[in-house]
Structure 1
Amino acid sequence: MNHPVKTLSQLRPILLGFRKAAGLTQAMVASHLGVTQQTYAQLEANPEAVSVERFFKVLRVLSVDLMLTQSDQPQSKVVENQKGVARSAKKPASAGKSRDKDGKPVTGPATKTIARKAALSALSSGRAAAKKRENW
């Protein structure tokens, strides 16, 4: 059976369905992958955040083939971001530029200083806490 995937949010129910159709538990899939059940549960809950390599390993365990086909429909100018929210494909002119406390664009050496301060602030507030990762 074919399962067309048009958005990343469709991956979760499809993976879940393939795993259950194969009669496997999360623990069984995790065992085949060499990871803990909790690690696989996180992947299954948020498959759009996993690397392509890991995604293919899961597909192999589930005996699922990935097939890409060309659509007859023209591509839209609207794209979906990682949270599933549609946005314009064109970035605003100010995107990615550092700004000072008054919201004015900052250029030159001050830009690096602001970026460093933001990174240090994130580290000190615990927002950038390192996660333990498993190699698989």
Structure 2
Amino acid sequence: MDYAIKTLSQLRPILLGFRKSAGLTQAAVAELLGITQQSYAQLEANPASASVERLFKVMRLLNVELRMSQASSAPGSGPAQTDTSKLQRQIPAARKVKPPSAPNRADRAPKASSSKQPLGAITTKKKRENW
């Protein structure tokens, strides 16, 4: 069955429906993608914030394909006719501009190092999943 998606808010219920119709849990999809269940839950909760690449990986896994088509419109409400003579104006050639010269290193003020930490400070890096 085809579903027309016209707003980003429609992605969530459609992805959820395809996952459930495939008989998969979030944990199962996450395992197949090689990520944590929490990461997949975040994607499914807000797919509009996910990259297109990640959405395609999920769609491929769920055996869902993306089709794009021009939306049909009512008769007579097609795109307005445009005067193409205005669109075909010549754009003047770009002028080459010499960038301003950079000051010598000696002229630059030393940068304060904000990466130094007091002895004994513990730093933790959040693990980032690369998928």
How far, CA to CA, are the matches of 2:67 and 2:30 in structure 1?
A: 24
Q: Give the aligned length.
A: 82
**Matching residue's letter, 1:135:** N
Counterpart in the other structure of 2:81: none
**Matching residue's letter, 1:9:** S
Q: Which has the larger share of strand? A: 1
How far, CA to CA, are the matches of 2:130 and 2:59 in structure 1?
A: 17
How far, CA to CA, are the matches of 2:48 and 2:127 in structure 1?
A: 19
How far, CA to CA, are the matches of 2:70 and 2:16 in structure 1?
A: 25
Give unpaired runs (5+ residues) of structure 1.
Answer: 76-129
Counterpart in the other structure of 2:66: 66
**Matching residue's letter, 1:134:** E
How many Å apart are 1:132 and its aligned residue?
4.3
How far, CA to CA, are the matches of 1:133 and 1:71 in structure 2?
A: 39
Counterpart in the other structure of 1:134: 129
Q: Determine whether 1:47 maps to 2:47.
A: yes
Counterpart in the other structure of 2:29: 29
How many Å apart are 1:72 and its aligned residue?
2.3
How far, CA to CA, are the matches of 1:131 and 1:8 in structure 2?
A: 28
How many Å apart are 1:37 and its aligned residue?
0.3
How many Å apart are 1:71 and its aligned residue?
1.0
Give unpaired runs (5+ residues) of structure 2.
Answer: 79-124
Aligned-residue CA RMSD in angstroms?
1.8
Deviation string, structure 1 residues 9-39 (Cα, Å, up to 9, x no partner): 0000000000000000000000111000000
Counterpart in the other structure of 2:5: 5
How far, CA to CA, are the matches of 1:131 and 1:2 in structure 2?
A: 39
Q: List structure 1 segments (4+ residues) > 6 angstroms apart after TM superposition.
A: none
Q: Indicate the structure (1 or 2) with the bigger Cα radius of gyration.
A: 2
How far, CA to CA, are the matches of 2:5 and 2:39 in structure 1?
A: 24
Task: Give the secondary-structure state (helix, strand or coil) at the position aligned to 1:66.
Answer: coil
TM-score normalised by L of structure 2? 0.59
